[in-house]
Amino acid sequence: MKKALKTKENEFQKRFQKHYDELKWLYCELYQNQMWAFEDLCRNLENWYKDRKASLKALDRTREQNPQWYKKNDLLGMLMYVNAFAGTLKGVEEKLDYIQECNVNYLHLMPLLSSPKGRSDGGYAVADFRSVQEELGTMEDLEELAEKCHEKQISVCLDFVMNHTSEDHEWAKRALAGEKEYQDRYFFYDTYDIPAQYERTVPQVFPTTAPGNFTWRDDVKKFVMTTFYPYQWDLDYRNPVVFNEMVYNMLYLTNKGIDIIRLDAVPYIWKELGTQCRNLRQVHTIVRMMRMICEIVCPGVILLGEVVMEPEKVVPYFGTVEKPECHMLYNVTTMATTWHTVATRDVRLLKRQMDIVNGLPKDYVFLNYLRCHDDIGWGLDYPWLRNFAIEEVPHKKYLSDFFTGQFPGSFARGELYNSDPTSGDARLCGTTASLCGIEKAGFEEDAEASWRGVNLDLMLHTYMLTQSGIPVLYSGDEIGQVNDYTYHEDPDKWEDSRYLHRGDFRWDLEKYRSEEGTVQQRMFDTLTQLEEIRAKYNVFSCESTVYTVDTWDDSILGIIRVNGDEKLVALFNFSEYDKVAWINEEDGMYQDLISGREMEARGVQIPAYGYYWLMRKNGK
């Protein structure tokens, strides 16, 4: 017993010594040998470890023994706003049985830390990293929710907004009071000379709603860097105090039981004149240090990077096998390409995107999703699309018109966000159900169109569940929830069309999931069936070999997954017409895991918006 206790006492030192040399090297290179700051960090890491609860330390040890725990095929996520889903953190706790009924064991709670009403950007302007928005509850409520989730084998993900703070944060207030120490935690300038130099090379994030990257503060007669919105002040990570203090904020949250830290807007966190201030090498140094710090203090915690950029800029945030950075990244390009495929009925770009992702090392884990809290941006591979005479500006206009219902024959209902008529850029908002036609059909009381929309919705979810990585549902998608237009009546929301798909969860409709023949029943029951199948077969795990197969029809996507004796042929018809997938897998009979039907994987007839999970009969 004494030996076991001593081993646990030495636990921190063993982890610390494993990473010490690299951590010191990177820190001192980044911060020019400011050893006082590094020593402060090291002292505090041990204090955060000591403050960590015994139950969390036990979970750390379990996950250290099974470092692949988050790569299994039984993990399913759900993303939600606490207030929209259940009002408060206590309300979410009361709804955990429903979340379990959805087969969810990875719960992503959208930003819930203290932020000023009306100037919060959906909670991404944090005024206090160690308190919860009053209307949602308390930090104690969050800690208790995490404990209840762990009892039910549910991991909890929380956004960590590390690029900026709210102008209401204590640091910002003290900076406005003239304290130089706190002004040095941001980018303050007396004149526009240096901001003007930044503006020559730094793109604008929201050119129509928040133009420019600096805001004049008349109360201190200075300019401050505000990459996103004027009330979100960029932190200066060139100051080691900023790095240390933000690490302590992160560890505070992990010690409250948060399992997954979502690093928000991570490519933006290092600024350097003469650059775009995106994806600089120092960003990777910071993320690598954060990865090591978690492995020292809380190795059961994983980092999820929010990198909403083209694939060649996303993948580097995994780091290397020897020096990993983020554990997981969003599969944002595949998501956008999926909706492009819905509008064009042409799978060729999607097939190409899947081939790129499937060619990456299996250690790289992506979060796969159809919809999330944010808009859809059309960051597609336009150089490749030009091979088919598709030009960027007119194609973006077509996608915008199609998904807002402006294009003749469109079934989709969405709205644009940050539309820029000059460049053709516009981002898309809307729930999965509304973009698939369920809303339009319901409004027009067209039963046939309604089922067509449900089929498309389910086909897309089946495709998402087929991809390697962690599938994440957006709360409400499991019952086919449509757009919420009431945000137009709220002055705090009406300028942000993303609230179109951020509406309150429709508990009045959820009850219909037990009523045969309703949209809610078919959506919920079919998704449940698909999720249970996915969790049962190893062929869906990240270790599987995955590749696309030609179907000789540009509207049908074919994917093959192989794991040991298990071989799965997945087919998806993105067309509103019945089709034939001209595949020729000459290795015996297959069984569709969804319908139970037996067939050959040759010349497969597939109905409009149809989908198959064909498992080779000798697979177990």
- Please give the average per-residue pLDDT across 11-21, as a whole number: 97
* CATH architecture observed for domain 170-234: Alpha-Beta Complex (3.90)
**Helix axis angle, 240-254 relative to 35-51, nearest 10°?**
10
Q: What are the start-end ranges of the E strands in 202-342? A: 214-217, 222-225, 232-234, 260-264, 302-305, 328-330
* Six-digit token string for 161: 């907004």
pLDDT score recorded for residue 7: 52
Give 521-540 as a DSSP string. Answer: HHHHHHHHHHHHHHHH-GGG
State the Cα–Cα distance between residues 321 and 323, nearest whole angstrom: 6
| CA-based torsion, 109, 115, 118, 124: positive or negative | negative
pLDDT score recorded for residue 321: 85
State the Cα–Cα distance between residues 471 and 74, nearest whole angstrom: 10
pLDDT score recorded for residue 1: 44
State the Cα–Cα distance between residues 239 and 37, nearest whole angstrom: 10
Whether residue 508 lies in the annotated active site: no
Q: Are 229 and 121 in contact (CB under 8 A)?
A: yes
pLDDT in tens, 329-346: 999 999 999 999 999 999
Q: How far apart are the first and last CA of the chain?
A: 44
Per the prediction, the chain carries an average pLDDT of 95
- Please give the average per-residue pLDDT across 114-128, as a whole number: 91
Position 499 confidence tier, pLDDT thresholds 50, 70, 90: very high
pLDDT in tens, 207-265: 878 899 999 999 999 999 999 999 999 999 999 999 999 999 999 999 999 999 999 99
Catalytic position from the list 93, 121, 143, 264: 264
What is the per-residue burial (b if ≥16 Cβ within 10 Å, else e) of 156-172? bbbbbbbbbbbbbbebb
> What percentage of the chain reaches a pLDDT higher than 70?
98
State the Cα–Cα distance between residues 285 and 27, nearest whole angstrom: 8
Give 195-233 as a DSSP string. Answer: HHHHHHHPPPSBTTTB-SSEEEETTTTEEEE-SS-TTEE
Query: Could you give the angle at the alpha carbon of 429 between the alpha carbons of 424 and 431, nearest 5°?
Result: 145
pLDDT in tens, 435-451: 999 999 999 999 999 99
Whether residue 306 lies in the annotated active site: yes
43 dihedral zone (left: phi>0; alpha: psi -120 to 50; beta): alpha
Catalytic position from the list 234, 236, 306, 566: 306
| CA-based torsion, 86, 89, 93, 98: positive or negative | positive
What 506-513 contacts at long range (C-beta under 8 Å, 24+ apart), as own/partner pairs, is 506/476, 506/479, 506/481, 509/479, 509/481, 510/98, 510/479, 512/479, 513/479
Q: Which segments of the chain belong to CATH 2.60.40.1180?
A: 544-616
Q: Are 596 and 606 in contact (CB under 8 A)?
A: no
Give 77-109 as a DSSP string. Answer: EEEE-HHHHHSSHHHHHHTHHHHHHTT--EEEE
Q: Are 75 and 66 in contact (CB under 8 A)?
A: no
Sheet holding 188-189: strands in order across?
A: 188-189, 222-225, 214-217
Task: For the chain, state the CA radius of gyration.
Answer: 25
Q: Which segments of the chain belong to CATH 3.90.400.10?
A: 170-234
CATH classification code of 544-616: 2.60.40.1180
Is residue 174 classed exposed, middle or buried when 0-12, 13-18 and 19+ CB atoms within 10 A define those classes? middle
* Residue 289 neighbours by CB distance under 10 Å: 20
